[in-house]
Amino acid sequence: MPKTLKYRFLLPVAFVIFSTLQLGFTAEQGSQRLISPDLLERVGLKILWENILPTKPGENLERLLILGDQIYAISDKNYMLCLQRESNKRVFGKTVELGGLKVEELSLYNDKLLSVSGNRLYEIDPNTGIEHSTVDVEYGIVCPAARNDSFIYLGGADRRLHVLRAEDKVRVFKAAAENDSMITTIVADPGFVIFGTDKGNIISILPDKPVRSWQFDASGAIVGSIIRDGMSLYFADADMNVYRLDVVGTPERRRLIWKYQADGILNTSPCVTKKIVYQVIHGKGLEALNKVDGTLLWSVPSGTGFLAEAKGKAYVITKDGTLVVMDNNTNKRLHSVNFAGVSIHASNTVDSKIYIADKSGRIACLQPLE
């Protein structure tokens, strides 16, 4: 048994029972709550559930990730707590070893979690946290892996897209941009593969051979991930523009729909919902764009993250620890409340749940009042 796991099993019995049974916080423990229920009620929210990551001294919660029906809380020591998003039911909690490397990226495909770290690709069971397979490659992996039913796609430090057969991880081909630029993001589909580069190229190739279908060129590096939504791709670029590109379907649909010039540096992916595209602008705040034409709807100065939408409202967290509620119908600010205890959040574009946490490991799921 790895030493890290053995250490956790030797924790005091009361603490182990607490973390295993997922008892949450009682009324007597109100001072330990991440956010006061009374405070939340002022902005029309309530606590659906609360939990805590069992951290060791010197260990901090680092990330919350929403993948499918589960949420993953990951510490800076690779401890991973996986919970059912709706019920707070514990799926697993363990230190994911990954050969001593840090968990850098996670993506979900059917019954496998894909993680890349250094020059290794890991397949992890999302219900147990157990590694199914580990693949060492001769190149560093520089962006999250993507896959479809047949293939796994990796962006290499050698500036090549490496394509592995999913069933046995044998490399079947590789591809590259003509300008030999670095791959920063990959989108995989049964009918195509699209990758973005640090020179602003968006390139589509066939999924099973290095044949280019089309290419779109922006003027700066593609930052963060390309977000696919139906027949459109949304992405942020180092040229300070947010783009919507329609690329799926007939050739005449493969065109730039709009681009929005932001007044600042973009270094994260947009969040795309049914009607709105949310983009954080470094040092400026968060802006909401009309999904149809890319026009600015509203902005929250110092906004650092989109949390969720519910009943025509958007929830935004700011760098000074404030939750801001915006009305997406009138484009006006409705409420704000102190969120000073919150330092970590997940951006939820799927439903109205809000997931927040602090570095000590306290996690809460909020939902709008009926």
Q: If you average pLDDT over every residue of the chain, what do you get?
A: 88
- Return the amino acid letter for 35: I
- pLDDT tens for 254-277 read 789 999 999 999 999 999 999 999
pLDDT band at 193 (very low <50, low <70, confident <90, very high): very high
pLDDT band at 349 (very low <50, low <70, confident <90, very high): very high
Question: Is the distance from CB of 316 to CB of 298 less than 8 angstroms?
Answer: no
Give the pLDDT mean for 139-152. 94
pLDDT band at 121 (very low <50, low <70, confident <90, very high): very high
Question: Is the distance from CB of 51 to CB of 366 less than 8 angstroms?
Answer: no
pLDDT band at 248 (very low <50, low <70, confident <90, very high): low
Q: What is the pLDDT of residue 243?
A: 97
- pLDDT tens for 49-94 read 999 999 889 999 999 999 999 999 999 998 999 999 999 999 999 8
Whose CA is closest to 152, among 131, 130, 174?
174
Cα–Cα distance for residue pair 316/327, rounded to 1 Å:
11
Q: What is the pLDDT of residue 95?
A: 87
Q: What is the pLDDT of residue 111?
A: 85
Give the pLDDT mean for 17-37. 52
Between these two residues, 155 and 250, which has the higher pLDDT value?
155
Give the pLDDT mean for 107-121. 89
pLDDT band at 106 (very low <50, low <70, confident <90, very high): confident
Which residues are paired to 258 by β-bridges? 244
Pick the CATH number of 25-54+270-370 from 2.40.10.480, 3.40.50.1460, 3.30.70.1230, 3.30.450.20: 2.40.10.480
Cα–Cα distance for residue pair 1/333, rounded to 1 Å:
53
- pLDDT tens for 92-104 read 998 877 666 677 7
**Is pLDDT at 11 greater than 50 in this prediction?**
no
- DSSP letters along 173-242, please? EEE--TT-PPEEEEEE-SS-EEEEETTSEEEEE-TTSS-EEEEEE-SS-EEEEEEEETTEEEEEETTSEE
Question: Is the distance from CB of 253 to CB of 247 less than 8 angstroms?
Answer: yes
Using only the alpha carbons of the chain, give its radius of gyration.
Answer: 21
**Is pLDDT at 47 greater than 70 in this prediction?**
yes
Give the pLDDT mean for 153-176. 96
Q: What's the Cα-to-Cα distance from 48 to each of 86, 292, 352, 367, 369, rounded to whole Å?
A: 8, 33, 12, 6, 10
Cα–Cα distance for residue pair 68/112, rounded to 1 Å:
11
